[in-house]
Chain A
Amino acid sequence: MQYKAAETFSRRSEPLAIGGRTLRSRLILGSGGFTSLELLASAVEASGTGLVTVAMRRVDPTARGSLIEVLDGLGVRVLPNTAGCFTARDAVRTAQLAREALQTDWVKLEVIGDAQTLLPDATELLIAAEQLVNDGFVVLPYTTDDPILARRLEDAGCAAVMPLGSPIGSGMGICNPYNIALICERAGVPVVLDAGVGTASDAAFAMELGCAAVLCASAISRAEEPVAMAYAIAAAVTAGHEARGAGRIPRRRLASASSPLEGMPDLG
């Protein structure tokens, strides 16, 4: 019997497209938390990602440019975020600044409602999303795991929805897998699990629930070995995506024998 190469069975040939653009990988990397640009660059390479988030802040003219130069050199696209914004107004202005600075109309929209939990402010988020879509942005909103809000964001014209698994940087994984699955089942745009991933199994779980991609920062950048974790989480995203496509067996409470009971020898 001839065995086929493992790649024959892979679904990796189905690339993810968001806002009309094809992404190289189903893992989006957050650049926050890496202790050096060298480490970030190594993690980008190990992850295989094609899209890396950045934040917008006041710049010192003596230190400008280096992050963008590193990311350009790696051939990845940047996804500016509106982290730190607590109002729709600030988030819209920050997105406009990012568009001017980085020449991209993509934005990871964050409007935070509370400094302790960093949970999204649903009302401000929807207002900002509507304004940015009208202004021509490709909006990827960081949102709660509320299926109704996800639908409202999609209706507003967002190119994806990015529900949290658990609070940013908490590493608690996916606290409400039912809601994430529900969002995935009903969404007409790609669902990206954003925030909460603690380790590789969380990323695989997100993909098994039906997410199109995973966005991950702290789980990689703050791991003991960030580059090794970047590789592990990328592998988990692929594994979860493949498993979702392959179709898992249903859960049952009692065993179901995998060896036949017929033909048992009489050993009495």
Chain B
Amino acid sequence: MIYVNGDEHQDAATVAALLERLGFGEQARGVAVALDGEVVPRSQWRSAQLLPGTRVEVVGAIQGG
């Protein structure tokens, strides 16, 4: 089990695999990811492992400021 934006989700092997399962496109344009509070550069999405219990934040731009 992992946590994505506060909700429980099934395990995924990597950040890239998770984003694909969530329905983000290949490039997931406008999206950034943090694992347990640490920002994961886009270049590491394919290699970044998701251990059980990881807190994943998937964020993007909304209106504000």
Contact = CB atoms under 8 A, between A and B. Distances in A.
B63 A40 contact: yes
B61 A102 contact: yes
Given A53-B64, A83-B64, A100-B39, A58 B30 contact: no
B31 A64 contact: yes
Contacts, number: 99
A161 B22 CA distance: 39
Main secondary structure of the interface of A (DSSP, over half): mixed
B16 to A, nearest CB: 14
Given A68-B29, A97-B34, A97-B39, A33 B24 contact: no
Interface in A24-79: 30-34, 40, 53-59, 61-62, 64-65, 67-68, 78-79
Q: A79, A98, A108: which has the most chain B beta carbons within 10 Å?
A: A98
A80 B61 contact: yes
Given A64-B31, A97-B32, A54 B61 contact: yes
B47 interface: no
A81 B65 CA distance: 7
Contacts of A80: 61
Contacts of A61: 22-24, 58
Interface of B: 5-6, 22-24, 29-34, 37, 39-42, 57-65
27 contacts: A30-B65, A32-B63, A32-B64, A53-B64, A55-B62, A56-B61, A57-B59, A57-B62, A59-B58, A59-B62, A61-B22, A61-B24, A68-B29, A81-B65, A83-B65, A97-B32, A97-B39, A98-B32, A98-B61, A99-B32, A100-B32, A100-B39, A100-B40, A100-B42, A101-B30, A101-B31, A101-B32
Interface of A: 30-34, 40, 53-59, 61-62, 64-65, 67-68, 78-81, 83, 93, 96-102, 108, 110, 217
